[in-house]
Structure 1
Amino acid sequence: MNYARTALLLAAMTAIMLTAGFLMGGQGGLMIALVIAIAMNAFSYWNADKIVLRMYGAKEVDGRSAPEFFTLVENLARRADMPTPKVYIIDTDQPNAFATGRSPERAAVAATRGLLDRLTRDEIAGVMAHELAHVKNRDTLTMTITATIAGAIGMLANFAMFAGMFGGNNRDNPLGGIGTILVALLAPVAAMLVQMAISRTREYSADRAGAEICGNPLWLASALEKLEAHARGIDNNRAERNPATAHLFIVNPLHAHSVDGLFSTHPKTAERVRRLRAMASEMPVRREGGTSVPVTEGSGPQRGPWG
Structure 2
Amino acid sequence: MAGSRFIPDRGLTTRMLLTMSLLGIVYVAFIIALILVGMPWWLVALVVIGFALFQYFASDKIAMYSMGAREVSPREAPELHAIVDRLCAMADMPKPKVAVARTDVPNAFATGHNEKNAVVCATTGIMNRLEPVELEAVLAHELSHVAHRDVMVMTIAGFLGIIAGFLTQMGLRFMVFGGASGGRNNNNSPALVALAVVAVSAVVWALSFLLTRMLSRYRELSADRAAAYLTGRPSALGGALTKITGDMGRIPNRDLRRAEPFNAFFFTPAFSKSGFSLSRLFATHPPIQQRLAQLADISRQLGRG
Q: Which moved more, 1:77-86 or 1:224-233?
A: 224-233
SS of residue in 1 equivalent to 2:122? strand
Matches within 5 A, 1:242-281: 244-255=261-272, 258-259=277-278, 261-281=280-300
CA 127–188 in structure 1, closer or farther in 2 if over 3 Å, else same:
same
CA 183–246 in structure 1, closer or farther in 2 if over 3 Å, else same:
farther
1-side partners of 2:97 and 2:114: how far apart? Answer: 12
2-side partners of 1:252 and 1:12: how far apart? Answer: 30
Q: Which moved more, 1:248-257 or 1:50-59?
A: 248-257
Quote the offset at 1:154 in angstroms. 2.9
Higher helix share: 2
SS of residue in 2 equivalent to 1:98? strand
- Aligned partners of 1:48 and 1:145 also within 8 Å: no
* Code of the aligned partner of 2:119: A
Q: Is 1:222 matched with 2:235?
A: no
Picking from 65, 69, 73, the partner of 1:58 is 69
5+ long unaligned stretches in structure 1: 287-307
Quote the offset at 1:233 in angstroms. 4.3
Q: Percent identity?
A: 33
Picking from 213, 219, 223, the partner of 1:206 is 223
1:11 aligns to what?
24
Q: Which moved more, 1:137-146 or 1:224-233?
A: 224-233
- Aligned partners of 2:67 and 2:259 also within 8 Å: no
- Aligned partners of 1:158 and 1:184 also within 8 Å: no
1:150 aligns to what?
161
- Aligned partners of 1:160 and 1:183 also within 8 Å: no
- Which structure carries more relative contact order (alpha carbon 8 Å, separation 6+)? 1
CA 13–92 in structure 1, closer or farther in 2 if over 3 Å, else same:
farther
1-side partners of 2:172 and 2:199: how far apart? Answer: 9
- Aligned partners of 1:133 and 1:210 also within 8 Å: yes
Report Cα offsets for 1:136-186 as digits up to 9, x if no partner: 10111112234444334333332233234335376167x667546646865
1-side partners of 2:242 and 2:72: how far apart? Answer: 27
SS of residue in 2 equivalent to 1:282? helix
Matches within 5 A, 1:4-43: 4-5=17-18, 7-8=20-21, 10-11=23-24, 14=27, 18=31, 21=34, 26-28=37-39, 32-43=43-54
Q: Which moved more, 1:8-17 or 1:92-101?
A: 8-17
Q: How many residues align?
A: 283
Quote the offset at 1:206 in angstroms. 0.7
SS of residue in 1 equivalent to 2:189? coil
SS of residue in 2 equivalent to 1:250? coil
Matches within 5 A, 1:74-153: 74-153=85-164
- Aligned partners of 1:127 and 1:223 also within 8 Å: yes
1:295 aligns to what?
none
2-side partners of 1:149 and 1:241: how far apart? Answer: 22
CA 246–33 in structure 1, closer or farther in 2 if over 3 Å, else same:
farther
CA 228–77 in structure 1, closer or farther in 2 if over 3 Å, else same:
same
2-side partners of 1:30 and 1:280: how far apart? Answer: 56
Matches within 5 A, 1:276-295: 276-285=295-304
TM-score, length-scaled by structure 1: 0.78
Quote the offset at 1:16 in angstroms. 8.0
* Code of the aligned partner of 1:252: P
5+ long unaligned stretches in structure 2: 1-12, 183-187
Report Cα offsets for 1:262-300 as digits up to 9, x if no partner: 3111111111111111111111447xxxxxxxxxxxxxx
Q: Which moved more, 1:119-128 or 1:276-285?
A: 276-285
Matches within 5 A, 1:165-180: 165-166=176-177, 168=179, 171=189, 179=196
- Aligned partners of 2:241 and 2:288 also within 8 Å: yes
CA root-mean-square deviation? 3.1
- Aligned partners of 2:48 and 2:163 also within 8 Å: no
SS of residue in 2 equivalent to 1:99? strand
Q: Which moved more, 1:74-83 or 1:225-234?
A: 225-234
CA 36–167 in structure 1, closer or farther in 2 if over 3 Å, else same:
closer
2:171 aligns to what?
160
- Aligned partners of 1:218 and 1:276 also within 8 Å: yes
2-side partners of 1:19 and 1:230: how far apart? Answer: 47
